[in-house]
Amino acid sequence: MGLAEKYIPHYTYQDWLHWEGRWELIEGHPIAMRPMPVPEHQRVAAELITELTLALRKSGCKDCKAYGSVDYKIAEDTIFEPDILVICGKINRSYLDFPPVIIVEILSKSTEERDRGIKYQYYEQEGVKYYLIVDVNKKSLEIYELVKGKYRLQPYQKSFKFQLNQNCEISPQFDNIWE
Amino acid sequence: MALSDKIIPHYTYQDYIQWEGRWELIEGHPIAMSPLPIPEHQRLSANLIYEFKNELKKNCKDCKVYSPLDYKISEDTTIQPDVLIVCGKIKKPYLDFPPLVAVEILSPSTMLRDRNTKYFIYQEQGVKYYLIVDADKSIIEIYQLINGKYEVQPYINGFGFYFNENCEISPQLDNIWE
């Protein structure tokens, strides 16, 4: 064990509020959101936001909206910034404090391990109904759906039907995002 | 075991220089330097700088006093002492050799690290004098490196710091409490 291990602080939301720049907080550990993702990551993010927004408009779901990164506070010592979210219902605070219906993470070299590991586990545990993992290098999009409390990888072609709530169902197209 | 134990990143200097705001990096862990210390802490730091500077001006041209700067100890450890005295030229945008004096002014959030982690780092790096200032108790502890280990020295006003054959100072440290 390094000599620092014993004395590294366990940070909380109150600490996190003071930090400049973009940070996630995982079980008290600060996780840097620098450097910015590569341009291709951001282009695909923009495509996905467009497809999700388009599908939401077509569906007539008034209650559910697509968002770019927002602070998703899961616990006093754990705050994530997913790349894209679909949230049903009103966000009354400066951060999200209830599970979104869809979270999309676009993999970067520095985030892949966490996106497939700890975030997967947290989103599953928190009850985020759909978790999409996008790999821009492989041009792949994996859709995990919560089935009896566990994520199950779902097959799809071009489009997938998301049941957001009783009144709201969307079928965004995913075949155009790679061009 | 917490989920995070397996996956928290081990950051390096290359990551550190991209971060906004003030951070230290200790063995790959980001350590937040905000919020700023309380005003009393900053007043003591200003007074220390003043007392050191007055003495250095008289006796030593080669040694300078500094406000916090990046003291890069290794690729995964960069810290910012509250006050430093460095003899010789700093050629990089960070300090990459040991200062003669490092001062840490205790805050509730830093006390454990100042007395443990940093104490051992400064000792290991060969920082000749390490001063710990306890504002609550109004005391200054002076640790001097003797055969590679810190030994606490009896505090006197005008304690003699010996930097090199041309440079010895006896700052009036009692004045910092004014």
Cross-chain Cβ contact B19/A21 below 8 Å: yes
Chain B positions touching A5 (Cβ under 8 A) are 27
Q: B124 touching A, CB under 8 A?
A: no
Long-range contacts of B140-144 (CB under 8 A, 24+ apart): B140/B173, B140/B176, B143/B119
Number of other CB atoms surrounding residue B131 within 10 Å:
23
CA distance A38 to chain B (A): 15
Output the tens digit of pLDDT for each of chain A's 179 residues: 455 567 889 999 999 999 988 999 999 999 999 888 899 999 999 999 999 999 999 998 889 999 999 999 999 999 999 999 999 999 999 999 999 999 999 999 889 999 999 999 999 999 999 999 999 999 999 999 999 999 999 999 989 999 999 889 999 999 889 87
> Tokens representing B21?
């705001």
Chain B positions touching A35 (Cβ under 8 A) are 18
> Tokens representing A7?
């004395």
Chain A positions touching B3 (Cβ under 8 A) are 26-27, 118, 121-122
Q: Searching chain A, which residue's CA lies closest to the CA of residue B1? A: A27
Q: What is the phi/psi pair of residue A54, to 5°?
A: -60, -45
This complex has an ipTM of 0.78
Q: Please, what's the b/e burial string for A106-142 (b: 16 or more CB within 10 A of its CB; e: otherwise)?
A: bbbeebeebbeebbbebbeebebbbbbbbebeeeebe
Instruction: Indicate the DSSP class of residue A7.
Output: G
User: CB burial class (10 A; 0-12, 13-18, 19+) of residue A45?
Assistant: buried
